[in-house]
Structure 1
Amino acid sequence: MRSFLRKREVKDMAGIHPQENSYVIDKESATEMARLIDLDVMITRAMGGHFPPEIDLSKIHSILDVGCGPGGWATEVAFAHRDKQIVGVDISHAMLQYAREHARIQGLRNVAFRVMDATEKLDFPDESFDMVNARFMVSFMWKGAWTQFIQECKRITRPGGIIRLTDTDVPGVGSTNSAALDKLSVIMTRVYFITGRSFCQDEFGNHFGLTPMLSGFLKEAGYTNIRETPFMLNYSVGKPGYLGNTRNLEIAFLLLQQFLSKPGIATKEEIEQLNQQIQIDMRNKDFRGIWPFMSVIAQKPT
């Protein structure tokens, strides 16, 4: 089980970007869709609502939700704020089909969904939106694509408009007292490093190094009034986030097996064994886990 900690011959990953799908899980997976629906509710609750209190919603009329998945955040905002127009974009046809049907059933005419790859140029005219929202783009964004993406967000945002990026450095895991979770986290961060998704300078680091970069990216792009807000989801036994995030991790790691074993850092058998131990650990009455993530909000100069 220690083989993934040793330097070993890793398969050539040069062809992964940009020919292959950047999303680390099958983007059309129905299981992944169900996971994201539950995750979206859990994250919105942990953040205290759809919008931070410092945003003046009277000045927000049109909103873009990037990487919207099955459209949870976008449809909830559209339902709660009928005076606002929301557009959600995602690379998955299956998830957008679900999002459209969900919006239709609720009778929402102020939300629309479009297929679009956020790692490329955004297909919107200049100054189209008052706000751009994006959550956990670490799941599909290449390291080298972040600067272009933020410049694109600035281009399509009106003067005085808002961008909010919410992300993490260790998706769903954070700090725990499970050795198996720690080991799988090391595998994941190594695979992110090898496949060009991580800002961490150490292949054997235990994080992606993304959240410390976000404010700098926004500043370099010319945004002002940059504010960082940390969040923490406690998913220890007995805490409100326990059932939601342990279920999220069980499903996510099952779906991630192919991605994690592809570079040759760990075998499928090793990852399967870790998954089995993780399920045992998270059901232990003494399990403790905290997942940190962060939002960065900035304004386009008027």
Structure 2
Amino acid sequence: MSHTQSIPLRHGPLLFFEEDMNEHQDRATQPHRLLPQVQKDPPSPASRGALYPFYTPSDPLVLDEQVLVSPVHPLEWRRRSQQARMLMQHFRVPLPEQPEGFPMKRILDLALDPNGEWLRHLAAHAPRTECIGLTSQESAARQTAFFAAVQGCHNASAQVCSLTRPLPFPAESIDLISGHFLHATLPEYAWPLLLEDCFRLLRPGGVLRLLECVQGESTSAAAGTLCATYWQQMGRLRAAARPSARGTQTIRSARPERLPIRMEKTGFVAIEQQESLLDFSAGTPFHGTLCEQADDFFQLLEPFCTAHSCSRETYQQTYHEMQLELLEPTFRGYWHLCTTWGYKPSRHILRPIPDMHVEQPFPQVLYTCSLPCSLSLSRREHRHTRTSRVERRQHQHTPIDQL
């Protein structure tokens, strides 16, 4: 007897996961088997270029205190090092959204890559700025210090410090704090504490910038199947660790899309976003690097995904299918990167007074996106918000200035 469960993906056809069950064997001891199958109907011309979910560098690898992938694993070490090189080649400058003459005496990097390549690139770009990198691995700190000495970047240093604890720096001593793909390694509960600590360390007018990948997509259906298996297992563990009461939903994962709201609640103002598309399709400079990163990522997650979701044989079969699909000449893949930055209030950047009559997650006047994104409102919605605000004020007997 077999049971078929369909999971809809964001783009393209459905992927079916077939679960084989033996009637004479206990269900608790029978391992689940997820067999990826595409719809048997002939694909239409519009669906031939369908895009499926793809792995991103912001995918979480920790759940509360449980670490899914060891940061000192050789494959994980290589994957993070390749990500740092890709960012340097993609953006060309370490801080593309900041003006050239921005005065900075001290910069703090919250996510030091294994070799400290981005930190050394920043130190070489700003030789008069003290650049400090934080890492939880002593081996990464030693590697960064060694390569910085060889390169001659005497203004770069690394410290061993966990982001789940208060950062060992005095208040208002940092001009800019940067973080890359923190959603991958920072537990969900630690986000409010980290943002508050960053707000404490920044000088008035200081900047907090966070780079995350909000979406990954490709034409590989097998990669979409592996991503669905990974997120299914993450949801199962998250629900088991923090169950919700019946009729309620209290489990919320830390998503990159919620960064502006979190930063605004912490006290940051003038929050802006800038989107960027990293293309790793076949024939592009990043194609070979992304193939290696996808291989490493899903190879590292094999013990995690095969624990309860599927069998090891099925996972490896889908994994090899993904490798072949990534090498096709018609392969297309994209990472949607988004940089979010905000300022600590100062005399020049004042903290706005929130409007008590408009229920919005953040003041709309603060957000100016260079490219359209899900957090920006359309002109029609903005006009409707202004009309609703006027109508609400007309029904108030007390003037707004006296509230």
**Range of TM-score over shorter length:** 0.7 to 0.9
One-letter code of the match for 2:66? E
Question: Distance between the aligned counterparts of 2:101 and 2:305, measured in 1?
Answer: 41
Aligned residue runs from structure 1 range 217-228, under 5 A:
217-228=262-273
Any idea what SS the aligned residue of 2:272 has? strand
Aligned residue runs from structure 1 range 131-146, under 5 A:
131-146=176-191
Correspondence for 2:219: 177
Pick one of 173, 188, 213 that aligns with 2:230.
188
Correspondence for 2:311: 267
Say which is worse superposed, 37-46 or 134-143, in terms of deviation.
37-46
One-letter code of the match for 2:217? S
Is 1:107 paired with 2:152? yes
What is the Cα deviation at residue 231 of structure 1?
1.4
What is the Cα deviation at residue 18 of structure 1?
4.5
Correspondence for 1:32: 76
In the superposition, relative to structure 1, how do residues 265 and 179 fare at CA in structure 2: closer, same or farther (>3 Å)?
Answer: same
Question: Distance between the aligned counterparts of 2:157 and 2:274, measured in 1?
Answer: 29
Any idea what SS the aligned residue of 2:183 has? helix
Correspondence for 2:286: 241
Is 1:2 paired with 2:2? no
What is the Cα deviation at residue 274 of structure 1?
2.1
- Matched-pair contact (CA < 8 Å) for 1:92–1:115: yes
Question: Distance between the aligned counterparts of 1:289 and 1:219, measured in 2?
Answer: 32
- Matched-pair contact (CA < 8 Å) for 2:282–2:329: yes
Pick one of 196, 205, 217 that aligns with 1:151.
196
- Matched-pair contact (CA < 8 Å) for 1:235–1:242: yes
Is 1:287 paired with 2:331? yes
Correspondence for 1:130: 175
Correspondence for 1:47: 91
Question: Distance between the aligned counterparts of 1:195 and 1:69, measured in 2?
Answer: 28
- Matched-pair contact (CA < 8 Å) for 1:130–1:161: yes
In the superposition, relative to structure 1, how do residues 194 and 127 fare at CA in structure 2: closer, same or farther (>3 Å)?
Answer: farther
After TM superposition, the score normalised by the length of structure 1 is 0.84
One-letter code of the match for 1:2? F
Question: Distance between the aligned counterparts of 2:273 and 2:299, measured in 1?
Answer: 32
Any idea what SS the aligned residue of 2:331 has? coil
- Matched-pair contact (CA < 8 Å) for 1:175–1:289: yes
Cα shift readout 1:56-81 (whole Å, capped 9, x = no counterpart)? 54311211101212211111111222
Question: Distance between the aligned counterparts of 1:251 and 1:229, measured in 2?
Answer: 29
Structure having the higher Rg: 2
Uncovered stretches (5+) of structure 1, i.e. residues with no partner = 10-15, 202-207
- Tell which has more relative contact order, 1 or 2 (C-alpha 8 A, sep 6+): 1
- Matched-pair contact (CA < 8 Å) for 1:168–1:210: no
Q: How many residues align?
A: 281
Any idea what SS the aligned residue of 2:66 has? coil
Say which is worse superposed, 236-245 or 268-277, in terms of deviation.
268-277
Cα shift readout 1:217-268 (whole Å, capped 9, x = no counterpart)? 1110110110111111111111222122122211222222233334x22333
Is 1:20 paired with 2:66? yes
Percent identity between matched residues is: 22
Correspondence for 1:231: 276
Uncovered stretches (5+) of structure 2, i.e. residues with no partner = 1-15, 20-26, 29-61, 245-252, 347-403
Correspondence for 1:257: 302
One-letter code of the match for 1:217? R
One-letter code of the match for 2:270? N
RMSD (Å) for aligned C-alpha atoms: 2.7
Question: Distance between the aligned counterparts of 1:261 and 1:72, measured in 2?
Answer: 34
- Matched-pair contact (CA < 8 Å) for 1:130–1:162: yes
Cα shift readout 1:129-188 (whole Å, capped 9, x = no counterpart)? 100100001211222221111111111111110010011245xxx111111111111122
Question: Distance between the aligned counterparts of 2:283 and 2:332, measured in 1?
Answer: 9
